[in-house]
Structure 1
Amino acid sequence: MTSTANPFDDPHFVDMYAARAAKMVPAYRDIHRMATVLIDERAPSDARVLVLGAGGGLETTAFAQAQPGWTFDAVDPSEAMLELAARNLGPYAARVRMHRGYIEDAPDGPFAAATSLLTLHFLPRQLRLETAARVRQRLTPGAPFVVAHMSFPQHGSERDLWISRHVANLIAAGIDAADVDKARNAIATEVPVLSPDQDRAILREAGFTDVTEFFTAFTVRGWVCYA
């Protein structure tokens, strides 16, 4: 399902992933900390956590550092990103099982929590809904699901304004001009970004309850909800 056109299969892109993500996503590492806090509200000390879109391993590393009793199943379609995750995890890798693929390739669980950070915006609406529903099927009742991804108004001039703001923020963060142009084109024409209302509706339609927004920074939003 992956292809050579996918930047996450490009070794150079993968090598630069951590530094790029920290510049391109506001409060990138803070999102990992907040996700840990939200999971810890309900998950036991020996929680088994599903990390969907886990290539790079940065959020899984943050979770493992904060919670020594948690174990993880990390799922990502890119072999190169999973290899990067293994390197970044270092000594924590022993608590992580890697799975190449998508949600249908994840173990059945049951999991005490799940996350999908900066991944769902790559999926069109119907596939996003199916993915969220399959995550819920793998969770214990009441387990938290923490998501964060691009989500901003999608109508006319308001959409254009938020894309312009996103681009301006990338420039201010020191992202290379060529990469900024690629990002602008991707967000405007390729990435199936939805509005916040649509994203909340998908989580509810997938069967999650108490959908609560916990993070907003420019074009990125985060929600926690419960199985």
Structure 2
Amino acid sequence: MTSSNEKSGSPGVDKPAFTAAHASSYVEGTLKKVPGLASLHRMASMLIAERVPGAGRVLVLGAGGGLELKALADENPHWNFYGIDPSADMLLLAQEMVGPHRPRVQLHEGYIDTAEEGPFDAAVCFLTLHFVTRDQRLETLQQLRRRLVPGAPFVVAHISFPQGEPERSIWIARHVAFGGASGNAESARQAIATKLSILSPEEDESLLREAGFSDVSLIYAGLTFRGWVAYA
């Protein structure tokens, strides 16, 4: 997670220069950098299943790489999926990752504003919104919410930590240390500080409510990452 546009889902972010070489290293790097990612996928599956016990359509924003698609499809054979990502190379990786689930997965190259209208029964967005500025993030969340049926669950997770100093610098250093950044750690810290749009957990929750979601609940905290469930 070093590219400023990686897995972006916002119509306001430039088209990512995400190459096949980057895509091939994405899965290994993500599993290393995100604490308890497999458990987070299980949580998302469980929370969605509370509202979608049988057949349903799940929107996956930032679907490139296919990790979320594969995990949810493995657990839920009656769901169909609609994945959105602006990177063609990452969508190719997602197509490979889902394997036998391909007949149940539709992939869309682009941003949320060009996505199918739905409505969808649930949505997830993992490791994506920290690449989107606050204003663009609100628009993205609003666009996503209006594509969901009333009461549909939305599970979202990304980098989120306090933004006041010295806490911000401390958390950035922790993120770099846990991820085992190769080469110059200072360069990695600078990249995170300048290329990502990180909000505090309180701001993230407020933005979900501003976009129209209700019953926002924290469900995951892994070092610099936070995850929530909210309802359309």
Q: Same fold (TM over 0.5)?
A: yes
Displacement after TM superposition at 1:33 (Å): 1.2
In proportion to residue count, which structure has more helix?
1
Displacement after TM superposition at 1:58 (Å): 1.0
> Secondary structure in 1 aligned to 2:138?
helix
Partner Cα distance (1:162, 1:206) in 2:
27
Displacement after TM superposition at 1:181 (Å): 5.0
Partner Cα distance (1:22, 1:47) in 2:
27
Matched length:
219
Aligned alpha-carbon RMSD (Å): 1.2
The answer on 1:17 being equivalent to 2:26 is yes
Greater relative contact order (Cα 8 A, min sep 6): structure 1 or 2?
2
Give the aligned partner of residue 163 of structure 1: 172
TM-score (ref. length: structure 1) = 0.93
Displacement after TM superposition at 1:185 (Å): 2.2
The answer on 1:220 being equivalent to 2:220 is no
Letter in 2 for 1:80: D
Percent of residue pairs identical? 50
Partner Cα distance (1:136, 1:10) in 2:
30
User: Which of 190, 200, 206 in structure 1 is aligned with 2:205?
Assistant: 200
Letter in 1 for 2:182: D
> Secondary structure in 1 aligned to 2:226?
strand
Runs of 4+ in 1 over 4 A off after TM superposition: none
What residue ranges of structure 2 are gaps of 5+ in the alignment?
A: 1-13
Contact 1:49 1:73 in 2 (8 A): yes
Contact 1:44 1:112 in 2 (8 A): no
Partner Cα distance (1:21, 1:142) in 2:
31
User: Which of 30, 42, 47 in structure 1 is aligned with 2:51?
Assistant: 42
TM-score (ref. length: structure 2) = 0.91
Contact 2:64 2:94 in 1 (8 A): yes
The answer on 1:2 being equivalent to 2:15 is yes
The answer on 1:177 being equivalent to 2:183 is yes
> Secondary structure in 1 aligned to 2:51?
coil
Give the aligned partner of residue 8 of structure 2: none
Contact 2:55 2:79 in 1 (8 A): yes
Partner Cα distance (1:105, 1:85) in 2:
19
User: Which of 62, 66, 74 in structure 2 is aligned with 1:57?
Assistant: 66
The change in CA–CA distance for 1:87 and 1:181 in structure 2 (over 3 A counts) is farther
The answer on 1:92 being equivalent to 2:105 is no
Letter in 1 for 2:219: F
What residue ranges of structure 1 are gaps of 5+ in the alignment?
A: none
Q: How does 1:56-75 map to 2 (within 5 A)?
A: 56-75=65-84
